[in-house]
Amino acid sequence: MQKIIALFFVLLFPLFNPHPALAKSYTIDNAQIDIQINPDGTADVSETRTYTFNGHFENGEWLTNIEKNKIDINSVSLSEGGTEYKIGSEPAPGYYTVNEAGNELKVNWKYSADDETKKFTIKFRILDAISNYSDTAEFYWKF
């Protein structure tokens, strides 16, 4: 009988002594977008986002629609706090890849963040960014 009671407590103890959940989250505290319209009708874009991480994170992703938005895929670069990342698929912090996935341009990168704040900047060039009309010109872009 004592073995049955002991087994009962061993099996049910975890139900009465729950462990805290290991939750993690992040917020985007700031997004700054700078655009330089060039005389040749292109536009250079710099998007800087400030993230606050609670918990451990290591993968970043950025997407944009390229069906309507003509991005020069060779112009894409990524940095963290002023340190340039290298293009490549190495599974280590400091590397990023650029791929076309359907109608989207997809940038993935590796980093390491543990309960901290980081700034990531993506730069790229938009081709044919300006629409010219007889009486005006227009720059239209969805961020």
Average pLDDT, integer, range 59-70:
82
pTM over 0.85: no
Reply yes or no on whether the pLDDT at 19 is more than 90: no
Tokens of 112: 């390491």
Q: pLDDT tens digits, residue range 93-122? A: 999 999 988 888 899 999 999 999 999 999
Looking at the DSSP bridge assignments, the partners of residue 30 are 50
Tokens of 138: 């227009």
Percent of the chain residues topping a pLDDT of 90:
61
pLDDT for 1 equals: 60
Tokens of 89: 């698929």
Three-state SS annotation for the chain: CHHHHHHHHHHHHHHHCCCCCCCCEEEEEEEEEEEEECCCCCEEEEEEEEEEEECEEEEEEEEEECCCCCEEEEEEEEEECCEECEECCCCCCCEEEEEEECCEEEEEEEEEEECCEEEEEEEEEECCCEEECCCCEEECCCC
Reply yes or no on whether the pLDDT at 6 is more than 90: no
Tokens of 30: 């700031």
What is the amino acid identity at position 8?
Answer: F
Pair type for strands 71-80 and 117-126: antiparallel
Q: Return phi, psi of residue 136, to 5°.
A: -165, 175
Reply yes or no on whether the pLDDT at 44 is more than 90: yes
Question: Residue 36's closest CA among 47, 49, 50, 20?
Answer: 47
Average pLDDT across the chain, whole number: 87
